[in-house]
Amino acid sequence: MKLTGAEILCQSLEHLGVKHIFGYPGGAILPVYDALGKSKLHHILVRHEQGATHMADGYARATGGVGVAMATSGPGATNMVTGIATAMLDSSPVVCITGQVGSKLLGSDAFQEIDITGITMPITKHNVIVTRVEDIARTVREAFIIANSGRPGPVLVDITKDAQQASTEFDWNASLPKLPPKRVRPSLDKAELDRAVELLNSAKRPLILAGHGIMISGAMKAFEQFVRAGQFHVAMTLLGIGCFPANDPLNLGMMGMHGEAWVNHAIQEADLLIAVGMRFDDRVTGDLRTYAKSARKIHIEIDRAEINKNVKVDAALVGDAREVLEQLLPCIDRKERTAWQSRITEMKGDSAVRDIQSLPDTGHLYAAHVINDLWKETGGDAVVVTDVGQHQMWEAQYYHHNRPRTLITSGGLGTMGFALPAAIGAKFAKPEADVWVVVGDGGFQMTMCELATIVQEKIKVNIAIINNGFLGMVRQWQEFFYDKRYVATPLVAPDFAALANAFGIRGERVTSRGDVTSTIRAARAFKESVLIDFRVEQEDSVYPMVPAGASLHEMIRRPHNPLVETAAEP
């Protein structure tokens, strides 16, 4: 049967298992919207195309599947750029479909013509313009494979309007992908494997650096067996949080710029680092010249380009984390490393750790309290989607995630405005989940228009605004490094609770600690979305902090203050 390109696109997406598309219409994509109306696909109308890409990204991160975003040509497509870059830097499988002007008009500066494949070249894993109806099904099929294989990433498919309108025979089974033959991965280099095993079994002070790649690989079980077999301690990157339970005694917490002090010290004192699915980001290493000088390094990583990119390693195991860990597992000797264990305990003790919940209420509402109370009240089971800034770091420190894919956050690009739309995407992916947005007063104002999407789609997503009246993370840098000259960081905001009401959403305001838990509890019990404006201490800072470019052990620690540094339980 003959179908139009637009119909072929919709049918292809159905064949690929797509259920939800986040998008916004316009002239160059109208034929597709017309076909969408006749398909089984659920289209979610966003309020800004950036939101569509973050929703697709949140959808992907919540499940590990592909998220789909759609926009028209020109401004619709350029509005997607930030979301595409966000997905790229965090290896998230997103497919973006954009309409393009008719193929005969290409290059003529036609109305809403923009070279979106040119613009997104460096921020997509792959992109392509389709000008022939015959190529649509195959290209979309290829896009899904590329987005979610190997190291995942965003793919953009730009389809000209004439290709959407033209008709051709549609045969899904005949529309086979024409990708270069999958490189048969040679089994692991024997010499590298032997060296890794020798290093693993002879180490006295080993430490695992667990990253996002463990989640992407679905390697959680193999990883846990590996950890137990070697009795290794685990430190996590921001994006690795959740890949190993926070409540496991072998889990030490987050590493890096705002990581736990004892984790950073342990990295500097370790004699072996085993990096699994992490890419030694500069927020993780600090000054490379002084990074883990006494440690040999093993890197388990799927992308060969990451090997020796930032940190030179002694054994490189290039491959999928699960497969590599399964190969290593039978070779690991179980070792009790009592001296190393006591050293780590000693370092923990030195960090003045106390349970912040038991501190007397001094009349201040600290962000850390709010997040720790949210953790307790949700039993640690919520899917928390954060924005970027101080609240993001406090979330990482004070909400203890035991399950994978329960913290969704923009790490590599650090995109303010990510949280609200990404949470909407996560809710569509996991309708049963208790989804919470943890967002700053600055970032929320960047994409708050998506509150209307929540209302139109009748979904329940609870929103905790950590309102400190500042672009807090930048204010913190100004406090530490610019002599407290707060240029352009004090921030006027609307009355967020009243704003929520204007959208038809219940809004609450909390100013004292005593009201935190009851308000969270009531929000969870309410059947619709609730926005809570937490008016927190304005000039609190995130500790510890490794100043940009400093050595990992050179942390700025919290000065004498009623709050402790981090949230580890005593």
Ligand X SMILES: Cc1cc2nc3c(=O)[nH]c(=O)nc-3n(C[C@H](O)[C@H](O)[C@H](O)COP(=O)(O)OP(=O)(O)OC[C@H]3O[C@@H](n4cnc5c(N)ncnc54)[C@H](O)[C@@H]3O)c2cc1C
Question: DSSP string of 96-113?
Answer: EEEEE--GGGTTS--TT-
Is residue 384 a contact partner of residue 395, using CB atoms and an 8 Å limit? yes
- As a whole number of angstroms, the distance between CA 462 and CA 107 comes to 46
H or E segment at 191?
helix 190-202
Give the shortest CB-549-to-Mg ion separation in angstroms: 25
Q: Is 473 a residue of the active site?
A: yes
H or E segment at 130?
strand 126-130
The owner of tokens 């060969």 is 304
Is residue 437 a contact partner of residue 408, using CB atoms and an 8 Å limit? no
Give the shortest CB-487-to-ligand X separation in angstroms: 19
Diameter of the chain measured on Cα atoms: 75
Catalytic one among 112, 231, 327, 478? Answer: 112
- Provide the 3-class DSSP secondary structure of residue 237: coil
Per CB under 5 A, does 441 bind Mg ion? yes
The span of 9-17, 63-71, 192-200, 249-257 binding ligand X (CB under 6 A) equals: 249-257
- As a whole number of angstroms, the distance between CA 18 and CA 44 comes to 13
Per CB under 5 A, does 417 bind Mg ion? no
Catalytic one among 38, 40, 111, 480? Answer: 111
Per CB under 5 A, does 440 bind Mg ion? yes
The span of 379-387, 454-462, 472-480, 522-530 binding Mg ion (CB under 5 A) equals: 472-480
**Residue selected from 99, 245, 259, 507 as contacting ligand X according to rule CB under 6 A:** 259
83 binds, among ligand TPP, Mg ion, ligand X, none (CB under 5 to 8 A by kind): none
Between 404 and 440, whose beta carbon lies closer to Mg ion?
440
Catalytic one among 7, 22, 49, 88? Answer: 49
Per CB under 6 A, does 380 bind ligand X? no
Binding site for ligand TPP (CB under 6 A): 387-391, 414-417, 440-443, 466, 468, 470-474
First to last CA, the chain: 68
Give the shortest CB-471-to-ligand X separation in angstroms: 12
Among 252, 8, 289, 274, CA closest to 134 = 8
Count the site residues for Mg ion by CB under 5 A: 6
Q: Is 335 a residue of the active site?
A: no
- As a whole number of angstroms, the distance between CA 321 and CA 244 comes to 14
CA dihedral 477, 483, 484, 487 (to 10 degrees): -80
Q: Is 111 a residue of the active site?
A: yes
- As a whole number of angstroms, the distance between CA 158 and CA 106 comes to 12
Between 36 and 209, whose beta carbon lies closer to ligand X?
209
Q: Is 161 a residue of the active site?
A: yes
Q: Is 397 a residue of the active site?
A: no
Give the shortest CB-303-to-ligand X separation in angstroms: 4
**Residue selected from 397, 406, 468, 476 as contacting Mg ion according to rule CB under 5 A:** 468
Which one-letter amino acid corresponds to residue 88? M
Per CB under 6 A, does 383 bind ligand X? no
**What token pair was written down for 443?**
């970032």
Catalytic one among 125, 161, 297, 348? Answer: 161
434 binds, among ligand TPP, ligand X, Mg ion, none (CB under 5 to 8 A by kind): none
Per CB under 6 A, does 66 bind ligand X? no
CB count, 10 Å around CB of 327? Answer: 17
- As a whole number of angstroms, the distance between CA 189 and CA 348 comes to 38
Question: DSSP string of 323-341?
Answer: HHHHHHGGGPPP---HHHH
Between 172 and 486, whose beta carbon lies closer to ligand TPP?
486
Which 144-163 residues touch ligand X, going by CB under 6 A?
151
Residue 544: is the preceding peptide bond cis (ω within 30°)?
A: yes
Between 457 and 479, whose beta carbon lies closer to ligand TPP?
479
Q: Which residues are catalytic?
A: 49, 111-112, 161, 473
Contact positions toward ligand X, by CB under 6 A? 90-91, 151, 211-213, 216-217, 237-240, 254-259, 277-279, 281, 283-284, 301-303, 306, 320-321, 388, 392-393, 411-412, 414, 473
Residues that bind Mg ion (CB under 5 A): 440-442, 468, 470, 472
